[in-house]
C-alpha cells in the first residue's frame, strides 16, 4: 500500500535519516516537508530540509516553514550538544539553491489535505505546533486526513528531556495536548519503541554507501550524534527516533500497539508528559477516558526496524 505524506520535521540528525527514507521509499509519495523549530531554530530547519532534498536529487519537493516557537511557553535553547549548532553534526554543508514555499507550514498542510481529502497522511517528528496551527485554520482536517503519525511521547519508558517527558512533547505541550486529543486517526510512536532501536556504525556505513552525496551528510552527522549517545547514555550507536514513525507506517507488523485515551501535561514539573489510559479500563475519574481514542506503540522488534531502515537506504 502506498502513502501520500506530509513530513513535519525539525532536522536534526535523526530527522535527516527519516527524510532520506521519505525521499526514497517507493511506497511513499512525499507531498512536502514542513518545518518547525526544535532541534534547531526554524530557519535552520528549513535550510536543512531544502538541502537534504536537493542532495537526494529531489529539489522538487516543496518545503514550507512553520512554527518558530511554542504556542504558550518560552522556547528552550536548541540542543546543539545533541544535533550540532547547524542541526547536522556541525559538518560543513554545501550551499542550498532552492527556495521555500511561500506559504506557512500550517497553510500548506490545509491546502494539501483539502486538495486530496481522505488521502493524505501527516507524519510529525518534531514539536507539533504546525499541526495545531493547521487545526486552528481548518478544524475539519480531522475528518479529511487519512492518518496522523507522531514520533513523540512515552507511555511506560519515562522521558528523555525530563524524567517523564519526551522532547517533542516537552517542547510544545500545549500544541501536543491539542493535537493528541483532536479526534483524528492518530498513532503515537514514542520512546517505548524508539529506545528499542539502535542504529550502529555498521548500519550507517551501509547507508552511506547507498546514499551518494546525501550519504556523506547522513554519515557525518551520525558521528556527532553517536558521540552524544556514547557520552550521555552509554549506547554504542543512536536511536533513529524519527525513522520509527515511517517504519510504523510502512511495516506496522513490526510493532505492538494498543488503543486508548491520550492527554499531555501542560504545566508544572511533569509538563510534556504523555498520559495513556487504555481503552475500557476504569479509573477513579471519568476524565481519563473522555479524550478521543488513539493508538500507541508499546513494543517493537528493534533489530527488524533498524534493518528495515538500513535496507531502505542502503
Ligand atoms: O525525543 C526524540 C525526538 O526529539 C526526535 O524527534 C528528535 O529529532 C528530537 O527532536
Ligand atoms: Ca525530530
**CB-based neighbours (< 5 A) of ligand 2, an ion:** 10, 12, 15, 125-126, 242
pLDDT score recorded for residue 1: 74
C-alpha to C-alpha distance for 148 and 96, rounded to whole angstroms = 30
CA distances from 77 to 157, 270, 292 (A): 25, 19, 33
88 pLDDT higher than 80: yes
pTM flag (> 0.75): yes
CB atoms within 10 A of CB 162: 15
Mean pLDDT of all residues in the chain? 97
pLDDT-derived band of residue 97, with 50, 70 and 90 as boundaries?
A: very high
pLDDT score recorded for residue 230: 95
The sheet that has 293-300: what strands, in order across it?
101-104, 63-65, 28-35, 3-9, 120-124, 147-151, 186-189, 293-300, 255-264, 274-278
pLDDT tens readout for residues 144-175: 999 999 999 999 999 999 999 999 999 999 99
105 pLDDT higher than 90: yes
268 pLDDT higher than 80: yes
pLDDT score recorded for residue 188: 98
Best probe residue, ligand 1, of 13, 35, 125, 196 (max atoms within 8 Å of C-beta): 125
pLDDT tens readout for residues 173-209: 999 999 999 999 999 999 999 999 999 999 999 999 9
Q: Which three cell numbers stand for residue 65?
A: 516553514
E strand or H helix that includes residue 215: helix 212-228
Residue 28 Cβ inside 6 Å of ligand 1? The answer reads no
pLDDT score recorded for residue 280: 96
pLDDT score recorded for residue 52: 98
pLDDT score recorded for residue 133: 98
SS3 content of the chain, % helix, strand, coil (to 5): 40, 20, 40
pLDDT tens readout for residues 17-50: 999 999 999 999 999 999 999 999 999 999 999 9
117 pLDDT higher than 80: yes
111 pLDDT higher than 80: yes
66 pLDDT higher than 80: yes
Backbone angles phi, psi at 90, to 5 degrees: 60, 20
Residue 190 Cβ inside 6 Å of ligand 1? The answer reads no
* Per-residue b or e along 119-137, where b marks 16 or more CB atoms closer than 10 Å to that residue's CB: ebbbbbbbbbbbbbbbbee
> What are the residue numbers of the active site?
10, 241
C-alpha to C-alpha distance for 191 and 5, rounded to whole angstroms = 22
Sketch out the chain's domains with CATH numbers. 3-313 (3.90.245.10)
Q: What is the 3-state secondary structure (H, E, C) of 103-164?
A: EEHHHHHHHHHHHCCCCEEEEECCCCHHHHHHHHHCCCHHHHCCEEEEECCCCCCCCCCCCC
Q: How far is the CA of 286 from the centre of ligand 1 (A)?
A: 32
C-alpha to C-alpha distance for 180 and 294, rounded to whole angstroms = 8
Tell how many helices (H) and how many strands (E) occur in the chain.
Answer: 13, 10
C-alpha to C-alpha distance for 300 and 252, rounded to whole angstroms = 9
Q: How far is the CA of 282 from the centre of ligand 2 (A)?
A: 34
E strand or H helix that includes residue 174: helix 173-180
Q: Which atom of ligand 1 is nearest to the CA of 13?
A: 8
Q: Which atom of ligand 1 is nearest to the CA of 14?
A: 8
Amino acid at each position: 500500500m502506498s502513502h501520500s505524506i506530509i513530513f513535519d520535521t525539525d532536522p536534526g540528525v535523526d530527522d535527516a535519516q527519516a527524510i532520506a527514507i521519505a525521499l526514497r521509499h517507493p511506497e511513499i509519495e512525499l507531498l512536502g516537508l514542513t518545518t518547525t523549530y526544535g532541534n534547531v531554530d526554524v530557519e535552520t530547519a528549513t535550510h536543512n530540509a531544502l538541502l537534504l532534498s536537493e542532495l537526494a536529487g529531489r529539489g522538487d519537493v516543496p518545503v514550507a516553514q512553520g512554527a518558530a516557537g511554542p504556542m504558550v511557553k518560552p522556547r528552550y535553547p536548541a540542543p546543539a550538544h545533541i544535533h550540532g549548532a547547524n542541526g547536522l553534526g556541525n559538518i560543513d554543508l554545501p550551499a542550498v539553491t532552492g527556495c521555500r514555499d511561500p506559504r506557512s507550514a500550517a497553510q500548506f498542510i490545509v491546502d494539501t489535505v483539502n486538495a486530496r481529502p481522505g488521502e493524505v497522511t501527516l507524519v510529525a517528528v518534531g514539536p507539533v505546533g504546525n499541526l495545531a496551527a493547521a487545526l486552528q485554520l481548518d478544524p475539519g482536517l480531522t475528518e479529511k486526513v487519512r492518518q496522523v503519525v507522531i514520533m513523540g511521547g512515552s507511555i511506560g519508558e519515562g522521558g528523555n528531556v525530563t524524567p517523564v517527558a519526551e522532547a517533542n512533547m516537552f517542547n510544545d505541550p500545549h500544541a501536543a495536548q491539542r493535537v493528541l486529543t483532536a479526534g483524528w486517526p492518530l498513532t503515537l510512536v514514542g520512546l517505548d519503541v524508539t529506545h528499542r532501536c539502535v542504529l550502529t556504525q555498521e548500519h550507517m556505513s551501509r547507508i552511506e554507501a547507498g546514499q551518494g552525496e546525501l550519504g556523506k551528510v547522513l554519515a557525518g552527522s551520525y558521528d556527532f550524534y553517536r558521540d552524544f549517545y556514547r557520552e550521555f547514555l552509554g549506547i554504542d550507536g543512536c536511536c533513529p527516533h524519527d525513522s520509527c514513525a515511517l517504519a510504523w507506517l510502512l511495516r506496522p507488523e513490526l510493532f505492538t500497539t494498543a488503543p486508548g485515551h491520550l492527554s499531555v501535561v501542560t504545566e508544572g514539573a511533569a509538563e510534556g508528559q504523555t498520559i495513556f489510559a487504555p481503552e475500557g479500563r476504569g479509573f477513579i475519574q471519568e476524565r481519563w477516558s473522555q479524550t478521543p481514542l488513539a493508538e500507541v506503540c508499546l513494543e517493537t522488534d528493534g533489530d527488524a526496524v533498524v534493518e528495515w531502515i538500513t535496507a531502505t537506504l542502503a
